[in-house]
Structure formats: structure tokens, C-alpha cells
Amino acid sequence: MHHHSLPRDVAKGWFVGPWNSALPIPIGFANQGIDLPHYHEQMYEVYLVARGSSVAVVGGREIPLRAGDLLVVEPGEAHTFTTSSPDYFHFVIQTPFVPGDKVLSATTPQAEKPKEG
């Protein structure tokens, strides 16, 4: 059994994952949308919005989010958060967990490849 309380003075972080338990997936949180465009080569990220509202940008498309919403970002999809309400809070799950799988970029790997023709 694991019990973790939310650190109130931290904008985002991780509750539990393979580094501190036998749980094979990390479970984290954020109390604001962080604007840091990136993608993952192998991992999916599942965002569960618990409170407030935010705007995510996935593959260049704005996605309005509010409490009760679920967003699944697939491997290779560049994503970030551009705005969030003062009461915003989400949980995030990464699967399958791959250490070091975060690539900072404003575009997806597919968009970076030259077009054939």
C-alpha cells in the first residue's frame, strides 16, 4: 500500500512510479498547465482533469479541458499547455514507462522529416 499527500508548494511532480515502488507506471500531478512543448517517442500520457480548466495544444490543435475531461496523448504527438485557471489540477499517467523518453520540441518527429517527392 502507498499513500501520498499532494505537496502544496510544488507546481507539478510525481506521486509514485517504478523508481519508488513496484508499480510499473508513474502517476503524477500538476496544479497548473506547464507550457513546455515536448513529445515522447514511446510513452502515452493520460491526463485526468480533476479541477478547473486549461488549454492543451496537441499536434498544433488547441484542446480546451475542464474538470472531468480525459486527454490521451500518443507517442510522437508534440504537446503542451498554454493556459490554465487558478484552480486547475490534473493527474497524469505515463505508459509504458520509459526513462528519458521526453524530447523537447515544438513539432512531432513526423513534421521534422523532409517530404518525399
Report the CATH number at residue 16.
2.60.120.10
- Segments forming the whole domain that contains residue 65: 12-99
In a domain, 1, yes or no: no
In a domain, 76, yes or no: yes
* C-alpha radius of gyration, the chain, whole number: 15
pTM of the model: 0.85
Instruction: Supply the pLDDT for residue 59.
Output: 94
Asked, as a colleague might, if the bond just before 96 is cis with ω within 30 of 0, I would say yes
In a domain, 36, yes or no: yes
Residue 107 amino acid letter: T
Give the cell for residue 101.
523518453
Give the cell for residue 82.
498554454
Instruction: Supply the pLDDT for residue 106.
Output: 60
* DSSP string of 82-99, one letter each residue: EEE-TT-EEEEEEES--T
Instruction: Supply the pLDDT for residue 30.
Output: 92
Contact between residue 45 and residue 93 where contact means Cβ atoms under 8 Å apart: yes
In a domain, 108, yes or no: no
Cα dihedral sign, 117-105-54-68: positive
Per the structure, the count of domains in the chain is 1
In a domain, 77, yes or no: yes
Instruction: Supply the pLDDT for residue 29.
Output: 93
pLDDT by position in tens, the chain (length 117): 777 787 777 888 888 888 888 889 999 999 988 899 999 999 999 999 999 999 999 999 999 999 999 999 999 999 999 999 999 999 999 999 999 999 998 655 544 444 444
